[in-house]
């Protein structure tokens, strides 16, 4: 979190406020008790999928929602109905080796197919109704057309062969009907399951919480209560070595807390009065009293669920492409089918014309098309989770191939975000000790790395810290507070320039030029002194920059820090382009200007202070996680706070995009040839696609799509 830009908790550090790793993500929960935590999935919408009360719903088109549990049950029942149909009926007129027939078997097939058609096809009927209502026929309409034509023509064939002419050569499509419904249901279930797995991963995070908490009663006694019963403003005791039961603020005690399990940061974080703690983190050697600030419905886990809830509100471009392909196939098949019906009816009679049309319409809805994108998404989701990537908006995947720039924060992203006090200069009659004490008092409750560095130094020197009252943040500038009745400001050199407050410019240039971030303590318009703090590059930052450049993507550093400090970091990174002394609105303007020039931009930030620029960028990437950090504006979250995961995301996105396009070609591309041939366009020269050959090609494309999706993998840079 970066105090210069944070709306809520920035206690206003004046330097580069690009810093804090996010320690948690908003998430809503109530409903399902897990280790004392009430989990409620609310109305989680993910790319047309809603997760609610531990289950998931999927938009089947036109707003028709299908519950995950009901969908799973529908698939299995449909599969049970389909098995005897597949065993008892021919495949596009081909008698299969395992086909079984007996007197009355045709009745069994017809009855089971009717049940399957209405029961298994219901989600597609509802989806098609919504698509047609919105004048946008797509996947659901194409599937509905395919299964409806297959069923009605097969019913026609059954009536002809059973009641009119047993020897009539009228082929049925019961086998295709059954397999098409089951495979399309499977494809949608796979996609729902891929997203649900993210929910399952979140549920596992609940195991980080203890089952109970030591609640301090009104009488001052301590009793153990389930974590799910904790209410805001209650006080709990956390003993050494215990897990912290909920998000809160330390009211007394001091300890080092290991937040690695929830933030990915391995180092222990010092906590004392006023410090915020995260539910699920592990207390160190000290005892803490914590005031509850978030219940089970709005704490860390509920915030993460909200994060996923908003992860895929818009369908990705890949899904849009799949629907465009389906729409094209729908119109093409309908046109070619009707044309075939008319022409072949004139040439050979209605029966032949009808069969040609039905063959075209059934072939137009290949089984592979229903699996093309879901299989890739499922595979990609799994790979992403294994590598610490949460892709909130799949449209970001499509943008990667167009990427020109990657804008990045400095502190905490390219640098370690751990500041040491390199210099302390008094410009008044205050001693260095008193000056340090005032700096620490004003910043005592700030979690910014710069503030932490000052407070830690004060503690090392054994100073007594008295947190300032009436502390307020000045967005993008600093923090103010009252100590012993006197009002103080901690601000940047830029603020001093803007308000014409005198300070030593040469001294600033010398300290900032050495890579320090400079803070000034001001009272009544006079500078009392300054702190100079330095940060160091992450070991992996140079490698990240070189990898981006090899990918022909230009890295740019954006920071609120002073120009001299930013220049030094940019030089260490290979003299990359940088923009310094930026407020949140300034960063957004840089992104907007770059995009207005026709470029595609990725912005990497902490998800709250950079929210405007994250929202503006084609791809917004948040590094890390934190309870106070709203990352709703980010498309991708790098859970492990490792900037090199940016490269992993880019590589995975490119591979995923490539596989989706390949699968869409395999799933539907053959129709370019198959439909005209099935319609008999080359019949005058003796070439016509028989239903059997069309079925074989259709089956091969399905197998190829499945195998191709499984070959997706993340290629990591050497």
> Known catalytic residues?
409
Distances (CA, A) of 84 to 80, 95, 107, 175, 695: 8, 15, 12, 10, 19
- CB 5 within 8 Å of CB 609: yes
- CB 706 within 8 Å of CB 183: no
Distances (CA, A) of 456 to 21, 420, 462, 482: 18, 9, 10, 20
Distances (CA, A) of 411 to 541, 559, 575, 692: 11, 8, 17, 64
For the record, the structure tokens of 113 come out as 């197919």
Name the nearest CA neighbour of 597 among 581, 582, 583, 618.
618
Name the nearest CA neighbour of 180 among 153, 144, 126.
144
Distance, in Å, from the CA atom of 563 to the CA atom of 557, rounded to the nearest integer, reads 11
Helix (H, G, I), strand (E, B) or coil at 245: coil
Q: Cβ of 485: how many Cβ atoms within 10 Å?
A: 6
Place of tokens 């470029």: 599
- CB 206 within 8 Å of CB 245: no
For the record, the structure tokens of 441 come out as 């008092």
Beta bridge partners of 715: none
Can you say whether residue 581 is alpha, beta or left, with left for phi > 0 and alpha for psi between -120 and 50 degrees? left
Distance, in Å, from the CA atom of 572 to the CA atom of 576, rounded to the nearest integer, reads 9
Longest dimension (CA), the chain: 112
Compute the chain's Rg from CA coordinates.
32
The H-assigned helical ranges of 252-391 are: 260-263, 300-309, 317-348, 350-363, 367-386
Beta bridge partners of 374: none
CA torsion sign for 261, 31, 231, 472 is positive
Distance, in Å, from the CA atom of 620 to the CA atom of 610, rounded to the nearest integer, reads 9
């Amino acid at each position: 979190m970066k105090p210069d830009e944070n709306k809520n908790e920035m206690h206003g550090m004046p330097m580069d406020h690009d810093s804090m790793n996010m320690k948690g993500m908003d998430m809503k929960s109530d409903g399902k008790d897990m280790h004392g935590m009430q989990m409620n999935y609310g109305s989680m919408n993910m790319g047309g999928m809603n997760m609610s009360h531990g289950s998931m719903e999927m938009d089947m088109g036109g707003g028709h929602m299908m519950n995950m549990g009901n969908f799973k049950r529908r698939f299995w029942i449909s599969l049970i109905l389909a098995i005897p149909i597949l065993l008892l009926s021919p495949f596009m007129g081909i008698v299969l080796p395992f086909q079984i027939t007996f007197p009355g078997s045709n009745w069994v097939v017809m009855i089971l197919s009717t049940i399957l058609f209405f029961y298994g096809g219901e989600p597609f009927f509802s989806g098609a109704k919504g698509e047609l209502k919105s004048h946008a026929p797509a996947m659901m309409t194409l599937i509905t057309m395919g299964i409806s034509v297959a069923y009605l023509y097969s019913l026609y064939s059954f009536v002809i062969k059973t009641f009119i002419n047993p020897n009539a050569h009228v082929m049925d499509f019961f086998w295709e009907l059954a397999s098409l419904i089951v495979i399309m249901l499977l494809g949608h279930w796979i996609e729902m399951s891929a997203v649900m797995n993210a929910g399952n991963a979140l549920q596992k995070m609940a195991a980080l919480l203890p089952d109970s908490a030591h609640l301090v009663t009104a009488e001052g006694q301590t009793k153990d209560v389930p974590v799910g019963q904790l209410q805001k403003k209650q006080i709990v005791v956390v003993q050494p070595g215990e897990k912290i039961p909920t998000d809160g603020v330390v009211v007394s005690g001091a300890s080092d807390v290991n937040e690695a399990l929830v933030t990915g940061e391995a180092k222990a974080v010092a906590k004392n009065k006023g410090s915020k703690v995260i539910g699920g983190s592990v207390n160190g050697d000290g005892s803490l009293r914590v005031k509850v600030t978030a219940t089970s419905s709005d704490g860390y886990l509920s915030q993460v669920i909200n994060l996923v809830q908003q992860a895929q509100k818009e369908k990705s471009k890949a899904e849009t492409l799949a629907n465009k392909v389906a729409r094209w196939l729908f119109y093409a098949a309908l046109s070619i089918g009707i044309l075939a019906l008319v022409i072949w009816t004139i040439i050979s009679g209605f029966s032949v014309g009808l069969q040609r049309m039905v063959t075209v319409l059934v072939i137009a809805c290949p089984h592979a098309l229903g699996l093309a994108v879901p299989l890739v998404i499922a595979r990609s989701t799994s790979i992403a989770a294994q590598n610490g990537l949460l892709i909130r908006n799949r449209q970001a995947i499509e943008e990667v191939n167009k990427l020109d720039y990657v804008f990045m924060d400095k502190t905490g992203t390219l640098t370690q975000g751990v500041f040491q006090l390199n210099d302390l200069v008094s410009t008044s009659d205050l001693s260095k000790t008193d000056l340090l004490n005032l700096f620490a008092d004003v910043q005592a409750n700030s979690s910014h790395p710069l503030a932490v560095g000052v407070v830690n130094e004060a503690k090392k020197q054994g100073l007594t810290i008295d947190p300032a009252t009436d502390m307020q943040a000045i967005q993008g500038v600093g923090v103010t507070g009252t100590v012993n009745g006197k009002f103080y400001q901690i601000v940047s050199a830029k603020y001093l320039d803007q308000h014409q407050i005198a300070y030593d410019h040469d001294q600033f240039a010398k300290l900032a030029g050495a890579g320090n971030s400079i803070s000034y303590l001001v009272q009544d318009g006079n500078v009392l002194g300054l702190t100079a703090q330095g940060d160091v590059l992450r070991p992996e930052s140079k490698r990240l920059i070189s990898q981006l450049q090899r990918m022909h993507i230009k890295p740019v550093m954006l920071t609120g820090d002073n120009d001299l400090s930013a220049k030094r970091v940019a030089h260490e990174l290979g003299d990359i382009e940088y923009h310094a002394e930026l407020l949140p609105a300034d960063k957004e303007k840089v992104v907007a200007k770059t995009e207005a020039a026709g470029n595609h931009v990725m912005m990497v930030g902490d998800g709250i202070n950079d929210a405007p620029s994250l929202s503006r960028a084609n791809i917004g990437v948040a590094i890390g996680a934190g309870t106070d950090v709203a990352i709703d504006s980010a498309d991708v979250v790098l859970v492990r706070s490792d900037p090199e995961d940016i490269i992993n995301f880019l590589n995975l996105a490119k591979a995923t995009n490539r596989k989706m396009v390949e699968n869409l070609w395999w799933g539907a591309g053959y129709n370019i040839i198959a439909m005209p041939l099935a319609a008999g366009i080359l019949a005058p020269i003796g070439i016509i696609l028989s239903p059997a050959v069309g079925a074989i090609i259709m089956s091969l494309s399905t197998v190829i799509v499945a195998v191709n999706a499984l070959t997706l993998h993340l290629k990591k840079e050497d």
